[in-house]
Amino acid sequence: MEAPHIVLQFWFQELTRKEWFQVSAEVDAEISARFGRTHLDLARGEVTEWRGSPDQRLACIIVLDQFSRNIYRGTPLAFAADWIALREARMALEAGADMEVPEARRAFFYLPFEHSESVADQELSVRLFRKLGDPEYLDYAERHLAVIREFGRFPHRNALLGRESNSAELDYLSKPGAGF
């Protein structure tokens, strides 16, 4: 298992903001090769030692929330650790960990709420991103909330998760920019 500081170094120093969110087979492969075992261990619940500091908590959340999407892109496993990332994010916020890291890194404490299919989590995401003050993150949070309010779930996940899309969801999915 890689150490938390290695995760943070990779994420914040080796990758760019664009690479965090843009689909790239190369980045996905690198994350899978370097951090696949770390992800597996954390997803199995071996997270206790990753709660010792705000940076360790942040690294844990990045692995469970972000790396899942890279390692398992295009499969249901991309979302399988979301509940663990959400739990860790809640505990981190309760501990005030988000306020102990540089402002530019705080968004990663908040993204598990944006990835949730719960309206309450989405509303919290919007509040957190509004407080953060980054218009781009806030715009995405508001768009995620709107989708959850309308459909109660993310329609772009339906096919991967074996869920049947209703006609309103199919109409939404047919529009440019649907999904995230």
pLDDT 10s digits, 44-70: 987 788 999 999 999 999 999 999 999
Domain with CATH 1.20.58.320 in the chain: 1-105
Q: Which class does domain 1-105 fall in?
A: mainly alpha
- DSSP character for 166? -
pLDDT mean over 76-82: 97
Which pLDDT score, from 0 to 100, does residue 180 have?
Answer: 73
pTM greater than 0.85 (yes/no): yes
C-alpha distances out from residue 130 to 2, 109, 110, 160, 163, Å = 33, 14, 11, 31, 32
Q: For all residues of the chain together, what is the average pLDDT?
A: 96
Instruction: Tokens 């944006």: give the residue.
Output: 114
* E runs forming strands in 135-180: none
State the fold for domain 116-180: 1.25.40
The pLDDT confidence band at residue 178, using thresholds 50, 70 and 90, is confident
Which pLDDT score, from 0 to 100, does residue 47 have?
Answer: 75
Q: Which amino acid is at 14?
A: E
**Better-scored residue on pLDDT, 47 or 174:** 174
Q: How far apart are CA 44 and CA 76, in angstroms?
A: 17
Q: Are 114 and 133 in contact (CB under 8 A)?
A: no
Task: Quote the percentage of the chain above a pLDDT of 70.
Answer: 100
Query: Is residue 26's pLDDT more than 80?
Result: yes
C-alpha distances out from residue 53 to 58, 83, 118, Å = 9, 21, 28
Q: Is 44 exposed, middle or buried (0-12, 13-18, 19+ CB in 10 A)?
A: exposed
Domain with CATH 1.25.40.10 in the chain: 116-180
Which pLDDT score, from 0 to 100, does residue 171 have?
Answer: 96
Instruction: Tokens 């959340």: give the residue.
Output: 61
pLDDT tens track for 82-126 = 999 999 999 999 999 999 999 999 999 999 999 999 999 999 999
Residue 153: both structure tokens together: 């779930």
Q: How far apart are CA 25 and CA 31, in angstroms?
A: 10
Residue 30: both structure tokens together: 């690198």
